[in-house]
Amino acid sequence: GQNIDQPTEMTATEGAIVQINCTYQTSGFNGLFWYQQHAGEAPTFLSYNVLDGLEEKGRFSSFLSRSKGYSYLLLKELQMKDSASYLCAVYAGDYKLSFGAGTTVTVRA
Amino acid sequence: IAGITQAPTSQILAAGRRMTLRCTQDMRHNAMYWYRQDLGLGLRLIHYSNTAGTTGKGEVPDGYSVSRANTDDFPLTLASAVPSQTSVYFCASSEKAGSTDTQYFGPGTRLTVL
């Protein structure tokens, strides 16, 4: 099976920066996604990495190191609306998407 | 509005009853998926369909069945519900299977089996 690990919870202050780490061990690798999920809602797409390096998209950036089986999602200039769960997901060799359990981020004023 | 719809939004069901969760997409995506989400376990794939007329088993298929008669609809059936099937169910779709296309999710169905 696939193994994807991320911290359960993180807390940060409004305006600060938070980094959510994700490590994975999968049978093959075809790309890594980050999704945002607000409580009671559907997951929504944030970012996709398939090559090593940093992808920046506004306040959110995602990094990938395939040799280390590691990714992180960086949230800058945190806002209250960023309070949500962040899901790390990997397309393994069979092109099925496997998800981590998610990291709940709480932003405090 | 383009996207994925699911019905019902929530349901309380007696154990042993049959239940079908509905999923419809209007994006003409070839691939569709059913996931369940449980606290601490993340999203787990139940069944998938690469294209109309074909289906496959995911990580946790037991107790569930699906059909894909056309491109738009992908219903999930619980033949005889059990309490362990209490969960939030998400339907998703992507443009094509066997690729790294982004999966888009419906709003979910919250199912409680008593």
Separation between Cα atoms, residue B98 and residue A21, nearest integer Å: 27
Q: Which of B25, B49, B87, B105 to mutate to test the interface with A (most CBs of A within 10 A)?
A: B105
What's the first-to-final CA gap in chain A, in angstroms? 40
Separation between Cα atoms, residue B53 and residue B69, nearest integer Å: 6
Residues of B in contact with A42 (CB under 8 A): 90, 105-108
| Phi, psi of A17, deg, nearest 5 | -115, 140
Q: In the numeric block, which tokens belong to residue B56?
A: 């496959």
Separation between Cα atoms, residue A62 and residue B8, nearest integer Å: 35
Q: Which residues of B touch A (CB under 8 A)?
A: 33, 35, 40-45, 48, 58-59, 90, 97-100, 102-108
**Percentage of chain A lying above the pLDDT 70 cut:** 100
Separation between Cα atoms, residue B59 and residue A92, nearest integer Å: 13
The per-residue pLDDT for B1 is: 56
Q: What is the DSSP string of A24-70?
A: EE-SS--EEEEEEE-TTS--EEEEEE-SSEEEEETTEEEEEETTTTE
Residues in A 28-67 with any Cβ partner in B closer than 8 A: 30-31, 33, 41-45, 48, 50
Q: Do B48 and A43 touch (CB under 8 A)?
A: no
Q: How far is A68 from chain B (nearest CA, A)?
A: 21
The per-residue pLDDT for B67 is: 97
pLDDT in tens, A73-106: 999 999 999 999 999 999 988 888 999 999 999 9
The per-residue pLDDT for B2 is: 67
Separation between Cα atoms, residue B16 and residue A36, nearest integer Å: 35
pLDDT in tens, A12-61: 999 999 999 999 999 999 999 999 999 999 999 999 999 999 999 999 99
Separation between Cα atoms, residue B102 and residue B96, nearest integer Å: 9
The per-residue pLDDT for B81 is: 97
Model confidence at A6, pLDDT cuts 50, 70, 90, reads very high
Chain A and chain B share a number of CB contacts under 8 A equal to 48
Name residues of chain B where pLDDT drops below 50: none
The per-residue pLDDT for B32 is: 97
